[in-house]
Amino acid sequence: MGDSVGRAALEVAGRFETEVVRFLRDMIAIPAESQREGERCERVRQEYEKLGFDEVGFDRLGSVVARIGDGPFTILMDGHIDCVGIGDRDAWEHDPFDGKLEDGKVWGRGAVDELPAIACMAYGAAIARSRGLRENVTLYLTASVMEEDCDGYCLLHLIEQEGIRPDVVVIGEPTDLGVYRGQRGRVEATITTKGRSSHAAHPEEGINALYKLAPIISDIEALNDRLPSDDFLGKGTVVVSNVECTTVSLNAVPDSARINIDRRLTAGESPDAALAELRALPHLGDAEVELLHYDELSWRGERARQEKFFPSWVVPEGHPAVRGVAEAVEAVLGSPPAISRWSFSTNGVATMGRHGIPTVGFAPGLEELSHTTGEWVAVEDLVRATAVYSLIPAFLASLEEELVL
């Protein structure tokens, strides 16, 4: 398979440009933050059914799942359907839920993170189906839920509760048409201080819990400078991301205070070691360090529970999963893609991070536009991505013997 296959795939994908753009704009037009994705999921289910996939439905968590083929070699292509909120609506140049099409770009919340992948994967899979999947292949598509709240849980559920364990996974976080093979992990933790309330007119009678936090915050800032770095994944980091306190009034000394901590883990770092570092901060005193837990209900009422630890992961550059996806990209684009990694976290924390399933990322869109008020994706890149997704099943299937060793 080579350039002629790529050119043919690009030509076919171009015929579906209008449909891909329309589907993407329809999804953008439906607000869908984590736990409230139902209406957007229903829209995706309708599109999957229209495209004639062999099986379409919801898993118990609420992710949309489609199947094509029934061979023993299983490929999963995943895009998460939920998006973060919009913040200050006045900060948006374009309506975040309009899906505006202008100057060859689609704009709006989710136009990068990561609704393009869902649209392009759907039509890429449909093209692959019309071409004929190899008999040994089953291709699953997921439009997964709750990723922004608890990355990876949706695929943990799929694997551990629904019994779908793929041999290889392609995830649709933005890569600007490059091929990504890893990410840093992360831990979400809190540090809580206790004080004693008193009237603000008599602060000497109380113990100010916020003041106890102040040197701890300085310790954390200093800790960030000492964290290790990895040549590929980059540096471990720690950030105080939120401060809150309890007080009986605005004229009283706070009797408790808490900070939230985002700790990014580079290669070789463990959550236990990261928590131990926090518990060893010079000014911690009697403050308590706790790992956060996720415990929420999905839009279908299924309970999701998990410690908020998300492992780092890396797939070797020479791995057949990386080679197969990169060869599909090269066939379409005509040159080798950039091989890199994400700065943020993805659903790969479940597939590769926890289950060791080879996981590779490919999608249109610029990572740095994620969660901004200026999200956009180029229509030209939507067509290119659709062509690549249409080839990925065949390119990976040709490497089955290496992938399932």
Active-site residue, selected from the candidate residues 59, 147, 269, 381: 147
Which residue has 């000492």 as its token pair? Answer: 226
Q: Is 82 a catalytic residue?
A: yes
Q: Are strands 288-291 and 185-194 parallel, antiparallel or unpaired?
A: antiparallel
DSSP code, position 78: E
- Sign of the alpha-carbon dihedral angle for 277, 367, 294, 260: positive
Listing DSSP states for 245-272 in one string gives EE-SSTTB--SEEEEEEEEEE-TT--HH
Q: Cβ of 318: how many Cβ atoms within 10 Å? A: 7
Distance CA 331, CA 389 (A): 11
Task: Print burial letters for 138-149: b (CB count within 10 Å at least 16), e (below 16).
Answer: bbbbbbbbbbbb
Residue 51 in 3-state DSSP? coil
Phi first, then psi: give them for residue 213, nearest 5 degrees: -75, -30
CB atoms within 10 A of CB 395: 21
Q: What is the 8-class DSSP label of residue 285? A: T
Q: Which of 381, 335, 388 is nearest to 360 (CA)?
A: 388
Count of CB atoms situated within 10 Å of the CB of 375 = 27
For 49, the 3-state DSSP assignment is: helix
Q: Is 147 a catalytic residue?
A: yes
Instruction: Determine the 3-state secondary structure of 76 from DSSP.
Output: strand
CB atoms < 10 A from the CB of 43, how many? 19
**Amino acid in position 227:** L
3-state DSSP of 96-125:
CCCCCEECCEEECCCCCCCHHHHHHHHHHH
* Catalytic hit among 47, 59, 78, 82: 82
In angstroms, the CA 301 to CA 62 distance is 9
Active site members? 82, 147
